[in-house]
Structure 1
Amino acid sequence: MDMDQFVEFLDDNKVIIGSAIGIGFGLILLKKYLAGGVCRSKARLDGKTVIVTGSNTGIGKETVRDLAKRGARIIMACRDMKRTEPAAEELRTDTGNKNIVVRKLDLASLKSVRSFAEEILKTESRIDILINNAGVMYCPYSKTADGFEMQFGTNHLGPFLLTNLLLDRIKDSAPARIVNVSSIGHSLANPLDLENLNSEKGYDPYEAYHRSKLLNILFTRELSRRLKGSGVTANSLHPGFVNTDLPRHFNKFLNFVMQPFMWLSLKDSRAGAQTSIYCAVAEELVGVSGKYFSDCAVKEEVKQARDDQLAKRLWEMSEEMVAKAK
Structure 2
Amino acid sequence: MLWSFVLLNVILVTCIWLFNKLTCGICKSSRHLVGKVIVISGGNAGIGYETAKDLAARGARVILGCRDEGRGTAARDRIVAATGNQDVHYRHLDLASLKSVREFADNFNKTEKRLDVLINNAGAFASEFKKTEDGLLLEMQSNHFGPFLLTNLLLPLLKSSAPSRIINVSSIAHQGGSIDFENLNAEKETEKTYGKINIYCNTKLCNILTAVELDRRLKGTGVTVNSLHPGIIVTDITKNDTLFRMIMPLLKMFCKSTWEGAQTTIHLAVAPEVASISGQYFRDCREGKPNLVAQDPELAKKLWEVSEKLVKLK
Q: So what's the TM-score if we normalise by structure 2? A: 0.92
* Deviation at residue 31 of structure 1 after TM alignment: 7.4
TM-superposed deviation, 1:178: 0.2
Whether the 8 Å contact between 2:234 and 2:248 is mirrored in structure 1 is: no
Gaps of 5+ in 2: 1-6
Query: Within 5 A, what are the aligned runs for 1:1-326?
Result: 30=18, 33=21, 36-190=24-178, 192-202=179-189, 203-250=194-241, 252-253=242-243, 255-256=245-246, 258-323=247-312
Structure 1 residues 141, 175: CA separation in 2 closer, same or farther (over 3 Å shift)?
Answer: same
1:196: Cα distance to partner?
1.1
User: Aligned partner of 2:222: which letter?
Assistant: G
Q: What amino acid does structure 2 have at the position aligned with 1:111?
A: K
Q: Is the 8 A contact 1:34 1:267 kept in 2?
A: no
- The answer to whether the Cα contact below 8 Å between 1:144 and 1:154 also exists between their aligned partners in 2 is no
Match of 1:14 in 2: none
Deviation string 1:99-155 (CA, Å, 9 cap, x unpaired) is: 001100000000000000000001100000000000001112112221111111111
Instruction: State how far apart, in whole Å, the 2-side matches of 1:29 and 1:306 are.
Output: 31
Asked if 2 retains the 8 angstrom alpha-carbon contact of 1:35 and 1:266, the reply is no
Kindly provide the CA deviation profile for residues 75-113 of structure 1, in whole angstroms up to 9, marking residues without a partner as x: 000000011111101100100100001100000000000
What SS does the aligned partner of 2:168 have?
Answer: strand
Distance in 1 between the 2:16 and 2:208 partners? 33
Bigger Rg, structure 1 or 2: 1
1:165 and 1:70 map into 2 onto residues whose CA distance is 26
1:261 deviates by: 1.9
Distance across 1 between alignment mates of 2:165 and 2:85: 22
Unaligned runs of 5+ in 1: 1-18
Counting aligned pairs with the same residue, the percent is 49
Q: CA RMSD in A?
A: 2.0
Q: Is the 8 A contact 1:31 1:265 kept in 2?
A: no
The ranges of structure 1 where at least 4 consecutive aligned residues each deviate by more than 3 angstroms after the TM superposition are: 26-29
Distance of aligned partners of 1:213 and 1:29 in 2 relative to their CA distance in 1, 3 Å threshold: closer
CA distance in 1, matches of 2:248, 2:52: 28
Shift of 1:195: 1.5
For residue 3 of structure 2, what is the aligned residue in structure 1? none
Which string of whole-angstrom CA distances, capped at 9 and with x for unpartnered residues, describes residues 134-188 of structure 1?
A: 0001112112221111111111110000000010000000000000000000001
Q: Distance in 1 between matches of 2:197 and 2:127?
A: 8
Residues 205, 28 of structure 1: alpha-carbon distance in 2 compared, 3 angstrom cutoff: closer
Q: TM-score, normalised by structure 1?
A: 0.88
Secondary structure, in 3 states, of the residue corresponding to 2:235?
Answer: coil
Deviation (angstroms), 1:29: 6.8
Number of the residue aligned with 1:11: none
